[in-house]
Amino acid sequence: MPSKKQNPITKLINTDGLQHAGYLAVAKTRAKALKAFSYVVPIRRPMLFVGETSCEDLCDMLISEGSSNVFIVTDAVLNKLSISAKIADYLDSKNISYHVYDGITPDPTFTVVEEGLSQSIDAQCDSIIAIGGGSVIDAAKMIAMAQGNKCTPQQLIGLFKAKKPSMPLYCVPTTAGTGSEATLGAVVSDDKTHQKALSIDPKMVPLAAAIDPTIMQGMPAHITADTGIDVLTHALESWMSANASVETDYYAASAVKSVMEYLSVVYKDGGNLKAREEMGIAAHYGGIAFNKAGLGYVHAIAHQLGAYYSIPHGRANAIVLPYVLDVNRQACQKRLAELAKKTGMVKDGQAGNSDAEIADHLIAQVRELIATLNISPTVKGMQSSDFDSIAKAAAKEVSDTYAVPTYLSKSEIKDILIKIKQASEDRMSKNESNDEAA
């Protein structure tokens, strides 16, 4: 875990001189530049295969594209569970050779990526299949880009560093969360400092993805819940983005609709393949939406909570999301009302008629879903003395990366942190009294 004095995300960015007026001007200019970028630079969408035969379909595509020696990237747990065996057996049946690298760890470091790259080069592989969650897919993206460009993973950090195409990359996500199989970015951690470094390049988008619900059915309920709320957050932040478009709205609304309908179902019954499949597609759609529209304060604050207090990404989003919806409500009530109607979250007259009432109803339903999933608001070790640097880093992440509907001052972000801390303490003291009563 990183030291509190060396917040990994803060260290990546210059946090000096964040006066709010200047900050707003810079942030809005960057947001416009991001919008222009998303219109001008084509971002391809991966070919999507869905269903129980999707892995075979993905392998058939890879073979038809001329690959004959596949590098399978996964992690040791998934490899032990034989999830990669389904694909390996199919490649065997087609006389395609492969090499398995199962050394990917959560929050993969440069060393982990370099080891994979070295093995892929030594084995003379000509394509990659990534089988795993966001960490595995991000690592595979870096390996594929570095091999395609004959460079080190470090040389790919930043914006548009690749000169040549990535080695062909195919993804089999095993969680319905990050949507990394659809996005143009990858995160790698520094081995010593745990600083997170980001590589963004449209060439990084995988060629194809397979959403196979049978692979996801063994996912534990709490991970299903956390990753599912990550999907919801991607979709809501894309929808509320100042850079949202007709295209991103379609994918964001589709993802919201599926999450509201299927996440609690699959949380209660992990073997429900229909719900698993819908959540897998929702995660993919969420990734497509935020590829262009971007994210917002939920992610900016959640990234900091993850770095400071080691909270899983999806859970951190679940903790922050209701508060950011509350502060966005004023600026977004029309848009939130539109979303509630479009996704069937509210029927005519059910929650009143004004946009404000309908937006409130949507926010209440999001809170209810999070409660149904038993996601605890507890953040252990949260300290008020951290809030200044957390708020500064979150504000800077937004300014650098996102086009939010309303910009918050540092003190407004700190107000959110105070509310999170209060809710966390309330929950902890409630748990203690329950323990005493028992």
Asked if 230 interacts with Fe ion (CB under 5 A), we say: yes
Q: How far is the CB of 234 from Fe ion (least distance, A)?
A: 6
Beta bridge partners of 71: 99, 128
CB of 177 to Fe ion, least distance (A): 7
- Selection from 244, 231, 195, 289 nearest residue 7 by Cα: 195
Strand, coil or helix: 208: strand
Concatenate the DSSP letters of all residues of 1-36 into one string. ---GGG-HHHHHS--TT--HHHHHHHHHHHHHHHHH
Q: Does 226 bind Fe ion (CB under 5 A)?
A: no
Stretch that binds Fe ion, among 75-83, 218-226, 230-238, 255-263 (CB under 5 A): 230-238
Q: Tell me the closest approach of the beta carbon of residue 393 to Fe ion, in angstroms.
A: 17
Burial of 93 from C-beta contacts in 10 A (0-12 / 13-18 / 19+) = exposed
Beta carbon nearer to Fe ion, 230 or 249: 230
Minimal distance, residue 233 CB to Fe ion, in Å: 6
Segment near Fe ion (CB under 5 A), from 52-60, 126-134, 223-231, 322-330? 223-231
Q: How many residues bind Fe ion (CB under 5 A)?
A: 1
Q: Which is nearer to Fe ion, 230 or 386 (CB)?
A: 230
Instruction: For strands 127-132 and 169-173, give the pairing.
Output: parallel
Give the DSSP per-residue string, 144-205: HHHHHHTS-SGGG-EES--SSPPPPEEEEESSSSS-GGG-SEEEEE-TTT--EEEEE-GGGS
User: From the CB of 421, what's the least distance to Fe ion, in Å?
Assistant: 22
Angle at 358 between CA 357 and CA 363, to 5 degrees: 95
Closest among 138, 143, 145 to 163, alpha carbons compared = 145
- Sign of the dihedral through C-alpha 98, 101, 102, 108: negative
Least separation in angstroms between CB 388 and Fe ion = 24
**The one segment of 39-47, 64-72, 167-175, 226-234 that binds Fe ion by CB under 5 A:** 226-234
Q: Does 278 bind Fe ion (CB under 5 A)?
A: no
Output 230 or 278, the one with its CB closest to Fe ion.
Answer: 230
- Closer CB to Fe ion, 56 or 230, in the complex: 230
Nearer to Fe ion, 72 or 398 (CB): 398
Closest CB 417 distance from Fe ion, rounded Å: 19
Q: Which is nearer to Fe ion, 114 or 230 (CB)?
A: 230
Measured CA to CA, the distance from residue 189 to residue 407 in angstroms comes to 28
Instruction: Give the residue at shortest CB distance from Fe ion.
Output: 230
Q: Where on the chain is the footprint of Fe ion (CB under 5 A)? A: 230
